[in-house]
């Protein structure tokens, strides 16, 4: 149905928006438009320099609101048998509106660290919600037949890994907005040590971001091994291996960002990688949850 495609497009659109947001910050274009919601008093400013990136980011954000609004309208018409989907859509619309207001506050109050980090966190929360909707409505047909207990375990483990990636991304947002990206100018060590002297907030944030990232890497690699051992084929195996690959790439991009002194390309793809990894884990958790439910219903039907 159309709402399934709309949800999938919403996920891709959100990933693009997160990438553009990172480019805006990396190119120091966050205040290229000093007012909000207009840019220099108009909705059609001259698209050059930093204004190009900042206003493009705003236009894509507006497009996302319209796209998800369409998905919500379609879901209301096509999912009467699953009312939770429409309720989740309403929650998503509310989240997007709050996100837009917080984005405006970051400009009007000249990029306060906590507000800017909240802006990123809300975007990631919306990505999670959109991914759940897309997974549950569009991609659930990929679910393989497997033991309900195994599927439930994979769902819980993937959910925990996704929560860890969300936490790491929020800390990464603090690192970015407090200008702590070069607090540890070397990699993989930090100030030449495995554990640097934690003498100030930038070093604590930067090192904490690295530590949580390595914990997440270990957890995701273990998740992939567990899924491969317990599910010989199917979508769960594919997405678990994809998450593992993204996790390795994400750590590599993080170190590359430091070694290139926060060059625009590696920094921007580092943000995109974190968001993509979060979406992959949420998708995996949703698929496994659906698999557990389908297997349980099949067993109950056969028993009756």
**pLDDT tens by residue, 207-265:** 999 999 999 999 999 999 999 888 655 788 899 999 999 999 999 999 999 999 999 99
SS3 of 42, please? strand
pLDDT at 278 over 60: yes
How far is CA 171 from each of CA 93, 176, 248, 267, 289, rounded to the nearest angstrom?
25, 9, 19, 15, 28
Nearest to residue 35, comparing CAs of 57, 18, 20, 55?
55
CA angle at 171 for the pair 168 and 173, rounded to the nearest 5°: 110
Contact partners, residue 139, CB within 8 Å, separation at least 6: 8, 235, 283, 287
Dihedral sign from CA coordinates of 14, 15, 16, 18: positive
Calculated CA dihedral for residues 278, 279, 285, 291, nearest 10 degrees: -160
pLDDT at 299 over 80: no
pLDDT of residue 129: 97
Structure letter (DSSP) for residue 144:
P
Interhelix angle 264-303/2-26, rounded to 10 degrees, is: 150
pLDDT of residue 224: 95
């Amino acid at each position: 149905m159309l709402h399934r495609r709309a949800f999938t497009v919403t996920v891709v659109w959100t990933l693009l928006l997160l990438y553009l947001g990172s480019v805006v910050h990396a190119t120091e274009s966050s205040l290229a438009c000093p007012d909000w919601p207009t840019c220099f008093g108009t909705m059609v400013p001259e698209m050059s320099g930093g204004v190009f990136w900042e206003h493009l980011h705003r236009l894509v954000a507006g497009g996302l609101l319209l796209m998800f609004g369409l998905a919500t309208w379609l879901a209301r018409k096509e999912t009467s048998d699953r009312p939770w989907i429409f309720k989740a859509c309403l929650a998503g619309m509310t989240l997007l509106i709050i996100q837009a207001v917080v984005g405006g506050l970051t400009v009007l109050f000249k990029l306060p660290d906590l507000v800017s980090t909240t802006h990123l966190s809300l975007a990631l929360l919306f990505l999670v919600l959109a991914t759940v909707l897309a997974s549950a409505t569009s991609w659930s047909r990929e679910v393989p037949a497997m033991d309900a207990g195994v599927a439930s375990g994979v769902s819980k483990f993937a959910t925990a890994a996704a929560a860890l990636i969300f936490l790491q991304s929020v800390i990464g947002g603090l690192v970015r907005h407090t200008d702590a990206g070069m607090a540890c100018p070397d990699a993989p060590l930090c100030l030449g040590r495995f554990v640097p002297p934690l003498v100030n907030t930038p070093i604590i944030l930067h090192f904490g971001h690295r530590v949580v990232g390595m914990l997440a890497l270990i957890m995701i690699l273990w998740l992939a091994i567990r899924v491969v051992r317990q599910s010989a084929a199917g979508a769960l195996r594919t997405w678990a291996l994809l998450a593992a690959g993204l996790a390795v790439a994400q750590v590599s991009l993080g170190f590359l960002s430091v070694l290139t002194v926060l060059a625009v390309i590696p920094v921007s793809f580092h943000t995109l990688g974190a968001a993509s990894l979060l979406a992959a884990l949420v998708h995996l958790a949703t698929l496994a949850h659906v698999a557990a439910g389908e297997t349980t219903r099949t067993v109950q039907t056969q028993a009756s």
